[in-house]
Structure 1
Amino acid sequence: MHRKKAFECLWRNIAGSLVPALMEKASKKIGGCVISHTPGAGKTFLKIAFLVSYLKLFPGKRPLVLAPKTTLYTWYKEFIKWEIPVPVLLIHGTRSSRVFRQTPVALRGSCPRPSQDVVHILDCLEKMQKWHAQPSVLVMGYTSFLTLMREDSKYNRRKYMAKVLRESPGMLVLDEGHNPRSTKSRLRKVLMKVETDLRILLSGTLFQNNFCEYFNTLCLARPLFIREVLKALDPKFKRKKKGAQKARHFLESRARKFFIDNIASKINLDEAEEKMQGLNMLRNMTNGFIDVYEGTASDTLPGLQIYTIMINPTDIQHEILVKLHKIMEKCPGYPLEVELLITLASIHPSIINSSVCVKKFYEQEELMELEKLRFDCKKGSKVMFVLNLVYRVVKKDKVLIFCHNIAPIKLFLELFENVFRWQLGKEVLVLTGDLELFE
């Protein structure tokens, strides 16, 4: 039911009505909207369903979907999963396109092998051409969009791509659209230049406890919101003639001030009546274009159980930690290198070897002795605890272990292989920041 309600909200704001015969291009109801549903409530599926149905009625609208790099592949997989009858064109970053591109770019005649940069540009141009040629959806990451939208480039092809991305989208979809919310955000400034008012902002956490950023997010989703705020709050704005158009950034700055002074300041007050007045003003302004849903199927789950366990160090860990704390007391300022060694030694004494700075405080002979203890689980109290816990739990459940540093991850991987005979890629999966996105 929550998806059905949001689906209707999309049609009312993007097309002006739920009835095709009543959809007017010049309707005052048309403008951007926000779908603020809790994570896991099915925003991606909802958006795909809307895009398919919308393109049947408005095939020339050319939707552009922008998503964070981490969710880009998820979007693509969802499009494939539901077997939609509309082509989906995915533009990657330069590095990712090397991994993901299945067919090489065909070049006419005999010419030297093009660089990765050239191949990427040709790939972008090819997909933009297809996007214009037939009803289709163009999907790309925010980072790629920001790179391609650079207007100061000296290359004509890059200027052309920036022009296309600015002028061609008939609809702009912003996944996790609350991210570029700062007034100084370069990404937000570029997104505001896209020449379409038909925008859909998807977010699970729309309000980030900052009314200035909240205003920025609403304007990003619905550029018309700037004038709607001024019309409601600025008494002088009504007397201005329509022909007296001022720069958009000036109007936005003025609207932001009225929004914070008249709405945010009241909501932040302790007085209940003033607070309620501010909330009602905000609700009346945004009710038509924001659809909120906060419940999910997880409501029936038992909830989180969090335990903090204090573990005593082993004798050798205690010896190392005492030495490092004495060194820390003598260091001027806050020694991050020693702090790192304390963190590593608290897990297992051998992994202090992974730090380059350890040689400042330990002799080579001492480090060699510690390295000999690498596979002795009993020398590290945290390691011993984790191995015992994992061995008991993993038979019935999945276990997720977070580490702040790479060294403990490598140690646990070696111990799982050595103690339990588990294999990397089979019983043990490792995810670190240096992996390719699609991996």
Structure 2
Amino acid sequence: MEERVQERQVEDIPLHDFYTSKAYNRSQQLDILKQWVEQKSILFLGYQQFSTIMCDNGTSRTSIDCQEILLKVPHILILDEGHTPRNEDTNMLQSLARVQTPLKVVLSGTLYQNHVKEVFNILNLVRPKFLKLDTSRAVVNRIMSRVQISGVRKQLKTGTNLALFDLIEHTLQKDEDFRRKVAVIQDLREMTRKVLHLLQRDSLDELPGLVDFTVVLNLSSRQKLEVKKLNKLDYFKKASVGSLVYMHPELKSLTDKYSSTGGKGSEIDNKEMDKLVENINLRDGVKAKFFLSILGLCESTGEKLLVFSQYITPLKLMERLAVKVKDWSLNKEIFMITGDSNSKHREQSVESFNTSADAKIFLGSIKACGEGISLVGASRILIMDVQLNPSVTRQAVGRAFRPGQKKKVYVYRLVAADSPEEDDHFICCRKELISRMWFEWNESCGDQDFYMKTVDVNECGDMFLESRLLQEDIKVLQKR
């Protein structure tokens, strides 16, 4: 961020931050804050750094001075990735709300994350008591009169903001009356038009293009048997175990065996994984099979592949499959980062993948590859599992589809057919729909503009998917 500011600033304004100044304790941080106060300058501060200082219960003069400066001195507060402090129960949001300047700007490409109330938490940060404004109250009353969900309304406390948020969420996600959805969206847009502003990213329009597919895969007979057992599990266990089953059922068997001896599935070493890979029947695992097929196609066309999963074990399996089948090596043709990767390893892996002619594939934990990582060396992206928060997947796609990309980017979001993952996919689509309708809607939009289109595999415009190698297990192909 600091480098970008330095590149674009029209006058020489001093920049301050704790990291480059190695200001690790409160006394050192206070020295930096005093330098910032003395002249017109910019202070860069991480959300966690800010929250930690503000929640410091120490009674020392140094701690109190740090807090007072951060609350009273800023003339303008700019929140990059401003959806981060969206939870009203966190110290982060409560601390930011205490900053006294009325000039607050939130920058976010994914403002809607999981629930309407999170958007209003951010709006209230920028414009305190936003819903109590006369203009807002008029629209709120109109929305409450539109929604007709008797079963839900009886359970909600009428007149509370929570009731409003839940009614809006329910209407936009589950109401079958599209006209009512549109009416509520129009109300939301009217209410927020003076505080929410959409900035069209012309830089993305200049890129070669983005083709985004959802690929629903028929499971093998072995996988179908395992899926029947998933319904007995709680939601989170169902998702984590399901990710193994959809990849390959042998992965679940290995994890169960490892866990029975007191280990964790994520701790399975290469030796154990290699034993599995040595005897694996790829036809039993449709996602593992799809992965190797698309990897081979990328190799034949000279393209690099970027693969995301929210779980470590499937990533390890894909790494060892690439080693066995392609005779590739980690940190030469194959690169991988997870939440445990340190910053040095991340930087080296990203740089090598983007610049090395030997690099073929980058495997990443989807949440570890967040904002700021550029993987423009890849032109094919494989999303191995469904994220209930659609913005996480959108940000993952943005690692390759961003300024600096020289090729058209193709995205393949894999979904296991007739499984709990397909149910999650439908929930995710509804959340994505809310965001698009709220922030991108216009009067020319119709119902069809907000839903993915089912396309013929043979006429999808992607030579990879039109190959028999990938078509064999596809049940449904959708295109954004």
3-state SS of paired residue (1:374): helix
3-state SS of paired residue (1:173): strand
Select the residue among 365, 370, 374 that pairs with 2:276: 374
CA deviations on 1:265-290 (whole Å, 9 max, x unpaired) are: 9x99989899869957963x654444
Paired with 2:332 and 2:90, the residues of 1 have a C-alpha distance of: 42
3-state SS of paired residue (1:425): coil
Contact 2:243-2:314 within 8 A present in 1 as well:
no
One-letter amino acid of the structure 2 residue matched with residue 136 of structure 1? S
Paired with 1:337 and 1:213, the residues of 2 have a C-alpha distance of: 26
Q: Percent identity?
A: 21
One-letter amino acid of the structure 2 residue matched with residue 430 of structure 1? M
Task: Count the aligned residue pairs.
Answer: 303
Instruction: Give, in angstroms, the shift of residue 172 of structure 1.
Output: 0.5
1:349 aligns with 2:349: no
Paired with 1:194 and 1:157, the residues of 2 have a C-alpha distance of: 18
Paired with 2:112 and 2:232, the residues of 1 have a C-alpha distance of: 41
Paired with 1:90 and 1:409, the residues of 2 have a C-alpha distance of: 35
The aligned counterpart of 1:410 is 316
User: After superposition, where does 1:297-376 map in structure 2 within 5 Å?
Assistant: 301=209, 303-312=211-220, 318=222, 343-344=243-244, 347=248, 349=250, 352-354=253-255, 356-359=258-261, 373-376=275-278
Select the residue among 52, 60, 78 that pairs with 1:147: 52
The aligned counterpart of 2:4 is 78
3-state SS of paired residue (2:309): coil
1:190 aligns with 2:95: yes
Paired with 1:336 and 1:275, the residues of 2 have a C-alpha distance of: 33
- 1:418 to 1:121, Cα distance in 2 relative to 1, 3 A: farther
User: After superposition, where does 1:29-178 map in structure 2 within 5 Å?
Assistant: 75-82=1-8, 85-91=12-18, 97=19, 101=20, 119-150=24-55, 152-178=57-83
List alignment gaps of at least 5 residues for structure 2: 139-158, 263-270, 347-480
User: After superposition, where does 1:222-371 map in structure 2 within 5 Å?
Assistant: 222-223=127-128, 225=130, 229-230=133-134, 279=186, 283=190, 286-293=192-199, 296=202, 301=209, 303-312=211-220, 318=222, 343-344=243-244, 347=248, 349=250, 352-354=253-255, 356-359=258-261
One-letter amino acid of the structure 2 residue matched with residue 426 of structure 1? K
Contact 1:344-1:352 within 8 A present in 2 as well:
no
Paired with 1:149 and 1:186, the residues of 2 have a C-alpha distance of: 9
- 1:281 to 1:359, Cα distance in 2 relative to 1, 3 A: closer
CA deviations on 1:179-233 (whole Å, 9 max, x unpaired) are: 4345444322221211110111212344569665444322311338577x14885
Instruction: Give, in angstroms, the shift of residue 337 of structure 1.
Output: 7.2
The aligned counterpart of 2:477 is none
Select the residue among 321, 337, 346 that pairs with 1:431: 337
Contact 1:337-1:357 within 8 A present in 2 as well:
no
Contact 1:87-1:136 within 8 A present in 2 as well:
yes
Select the residue among 384, 400, 413 that pairs with 2:306: 400
The aligned counterpart of 2:353 is none
- 1:416 to 1:162, Cα distance in 2 relative to 1, 3 A: same
Paired with 1:161 and 1:215, the residues of 2 have a C-alpha distance of: 29
Instruction: Give, in angstroms, the shift of residue 376 of structure 1.
Output: 2.1
3-state SS of paired residue (1:169): coil
Q: Normalising by the residue count of structure 1, what TM-score does the alignment of the two structures yield? A: 0.53
One-letter amino acid of the structure 2 residue matched with residue 196 of structure 1? T
CA deviations on 1:275-314 (whole Å, 9 max, x unpaired) are: 869957963x65444422356565683631232233536x
Moved more, 133-142 or 381-390: 381-390
Q: Normalising by the residue count of structure 2, what TM-score does the alignment of the two structures yield? A: 0.50
One-letter amino acid of the structure 1 residue matched with residue 319 of structure 2? L
Q: State which structure, 1 or 2, has the greater radius of gyration over its C-alpha atoms.
A: 1
Contact 1:89-1:127 within 8 A present in 2 as well:
yes
3-state SS of paired residue (1:163): helix
Paired with 1:291 and 1:416, the residues of 2 have a C-alpha distance of: 45
